[in-house]
Structure 1
Amino acid sequence: MALVSEFLGQLTLGHGGLREPRFPTVVPARDFDAERDASWIDTAIKTKGVDEHVIIDILTRRTYAQRREIAFEYERKEKKDLVTALKGALSGSLESVILGLMKSTTQFDAFELRASMKGLGTDEESLIELVCSRSNEELVEIKKVYRELFKKELEKDVAGDTSGDFAKLLLALVQAKREEPSNVVDYEKIDNDARVLYEAGVKRKGTDVITWINIFSERSVPHLQKVFERYNSYSPYDMKESIRKEVKGDLEKSFLTLVECFENKQLYFANKLNDAMKTKSVKEKVLTRIIVSRCEIDLMKICTEFKRQFGKSLYQTISEQTKGDYQRALLNLCGGDN
């Protein structure tokens, strides 16, 4: 398992520009047989009381591509949709996990974004996490899928549900105008951006937020990492301290999320997972969203960061803070204890 993930992590998949390395906990199942899996799931659904364990152990140990094959075989044999059947068989937190797994990562993100803005009030925490932690390439794909699924433009929904500088920052990110990383390090541009960030914030009275938004949303991630290092030679505060001093509320949270993701995205998610399980009442929505959305991307690395940061594995923490079928599903998606 570790060897497979290590190998997959070294691959740079994608087209037109390098994609981030992958460290998944869910990898293709060996000896995969979609017809057999579909048959077992059908039996589990029809069992009196539903055999959740069979459903969990199959669907959490298959990749999205394999789950789609299972769904195809199920529909071919049973003449009905697997997702509809699962909806009828499951409930609560477990249903959220399993139905989330039946979507591609991009579809799942699009649905989560829609849910964060639909109805009364906006779920700013989800909106910030989803927009600020996704790469340019991911945002381009999410916008396309969002349009296909909801016949709406993501930009219009974000603009309609947010306001002020917070809206401007999110919209700038959603437009996905970030530069691609370059092999050439432009030290002059790094120095200039660091100085401009300082002069637009800490150095003056009142913050020139638009200048901050432009640099944060348009520069490549490796460039910004160097800009934040250089920033310390101009400002008495580091970038995160400067953000806390200069802006407040959702705008502050968004800028801080961006910095944390630029510096170490997996540590950002590890911290979010820890926060979600710190109190007596676990934030299951956050827990589900991160585990489901990252299990085929970088959850193995998130698990490593979690243990390094908190001295206890994510697997162990989930074991202590959750229970029942929901716990079983999440632990399977973690791919074992590290």
Structure 2
Amino acid sequence: MASVWVGNRGTIRDYPSFNAPRDAEAIRKAIRGIGTDEKTLIDILTERSNIQRQLIAKEYLAASGKDLKDDLKSDLSGNLERVMVALVTPPAVFDAKQLKKSMKGTGTNENALIEILASRNSKQMKEVSQAYYKIYKKSLGDDISSETSGDFRKALLTLADGRRDDGFKVDEHLAKKDAQILYNAGEKRWGTDEDKFTDILCFRSIPQLKLTFDEYRNISKKNIEDTILSEMSGHFEDLLLAIVKCVNSTPAFLAERLHQSLKGAGTDEFTLNRIMVSRSEIDLLDIRAEYKKHYGCSLYSAIKHFSGSSHLFPVANLQSKILQNTL
């Protein structure tokens, strides 16, 4: 069965002459030698698919009696350690941990919650929710409920439940009807019926929403984004805008998030690492193209520029390997 975490626009694919025991042994030597052989670790882990990395981890455990993730944690540090550990983590588990991290401690990282929940499809979210419960013995929905509120909470919970239609069929009559409902719930009335926006934007399929937004433009003479900006506020507005951006182009939305993570004082490593790792086998080629189109330089150059001369240098090398088709 094909994995829901593998697309045809990733930069990382299955390694052709894959040999799990050989890779596990090479990694063991790289970790156990005098000083860590970071180059070997980077070369192997960025040139194998996630499924192959899971097989390497299994062989590593069988041969050494140790967990590969634990050995990487104890041997590496900082951002390099975080990316390497992310690479040997199954995708649904990685997302579950990212979601937990965004809700842990004082304050919630709403941007991370929005990015993950707006850009994953229903099958992916179902796997993430299962992984979340398995790791934390608590449902993802319960944690979202305790960390968020109001319309924002309601929309996040709908997305977390994986209830969006993942189909490809479009219904023109339904698109006209939904567009009219959205118009009546926002532009046409005093005050806004937020529930209608949540129901349509969080349940309908992506192709269906594309058509609905076209119909909306015909009825209101405005883009749905403009209506959301004028009718909503706060994190609920941010979430609905993220959904619209993902409907238009998930790679463009994630390229924008990468750009934000790389500008200003200091790099937002949390976001940079998450997008690079989680999309490396899905659509990183398209994210890269969108980045170049919108920001005038390659993603590779941007990462080198912001991290090449700092403590992030080893990880800049690692990120460039994940982006290997740029080189």
Fold conserved between structures, TM > 0.5 = yes
SS at match of 1:23: coil
SS at match of 2:325: coil
In structure 1, how many angstroms separate the alpha carbons of the residues matched to 2:149 and 2:306? 36
In structure 2, the residue matched to 1:3 is none
Runs of 4+ more than 6 Å apart: none
Q: Does residue 181 of structure 2 align to residue 174 of structure 1?
A: no
1:237-248 correspondence to structure 2 within 5 Å: 237-248=222-233
State the TM-score, normalizing by the size of structure 2.
Answer: 0.94
In structure 2, how many angstroms separate the alpha carbons of the residues matched to 1:180 and 1:136? 7
In structure 2, the residue matched to 1:9 is none
Q: What is the CA-CA distance between 1:256 and the residue it aligns to?
A: 0.3
In structure 1, the residue matched to 2:188 is 203
Amino acid aligned to 2:66 = K
Q: Between the two proteins, what is the percent identity of the paired residues?
A: 37
2:317 equivalent among 322, 328, 332: 328
Show structure 1 runs of 5+ residues with no match. Answer: 1-11
In structure 1, how many angstroms separate the alpha carbons of the residues matched to 2:75 and 2:25? 15
Q: What is the CA-CA distance between 1:47 and the residue it aligns to?
A: 2.4
In structure 2, the residue matched to 1:261 is 246
User: In the alignment, is the contact (CA less than 8 A) between 1:315 and 1:336 conserved in 2?
Assistant: no
1:136-285 correspondence to structure 2 within 5 Å: 136-183=122-169, 185-285=170-270
SS at match of 2:326: coil
In structure 2, how many angstroms separate the alpha carbons of the residues matched to 1:95 and 1:251? 34
In structure 2, the residue matched to 1:337 is 326
Q: How many residues align?
A: 323
1:318 equivalent among 292, 300, 303: 303
User: In the alignment, is the contact (CA less than 8 A) between 1:28 and 1:66 conserved in 2?
Assistant: yes
State the TM-score, normalizing by the size of structure 1.
Answer: 0.91
In structure 2, how many angstroms separate the alpha carbons of the residues matched to 1:100 and 1:205? 48
Show structure 2 runs of 5+ residues with no match. Answer: none
Amino acid aligned to 2:325 = G
Amino acid aligned to 2:73 = K
User: In the alignment, is the contact (CA less than 8 A) between 1:53 and 1:325 conserved in 2?
Assistant: no
In structure 2, how many angstroms separate the alpha carbons of the residues matched to 1:192 and 1:54? 57
Alignment RMSD (CA, Å): 1.8
User: In the alignment, is the contact (CA less than 8 A) between 1:316 and 1:337 conserved in 2?
Assistant: no
In structure 2, how many angstroms separate the alpha carbons of the residues matched to 1:74 and 1:317? 35
User: In the alignment, is the contact (CA less than 8 A) between 2:7 and 2:281 conserved in 1?
Assistant: no
Q: Please identify, of 54-63 and 70-79, the stretch whose mean Cα deviation from structure 2 is larger.
A: 70-79
Amino acid aligned to 1:332 = K
In structure 2, the residue matched to 1:22 is 8
Amino acid aligned to 1:162 = T
In structure 2, how many angstroms separate the alpha carbons of the residues matched to 1:21 and 1:187? 28
SS at match of 2:218: coil
In structure 2, how many angstroms separate the alpha carbons of the residues matched to 1:23 and 1:122? 32
User: In the alignment, is the contact (CA less than 8 A) between 1:270 and 1:302 conserved in 2?
Assistant: yes
In structure 1, how many angstroms separate the alpha carbons of the residues matched to 2:89 and 2:45? 12
Q: What is the CA-CA distance between 1:237 and the residue it aligns to?
A: 2.4
| CA gap 1:94/1:21 in 2 versus in 1, 3 angstroms | closer
| CA gap 1:26/1:20 in 2 versus in 1, 3 angstroms | closer
Q: What is the CA-CA distance between 1:313 and the residue it aligns to?
A: 1.5
Amino acid aligned to 1:330 = Q
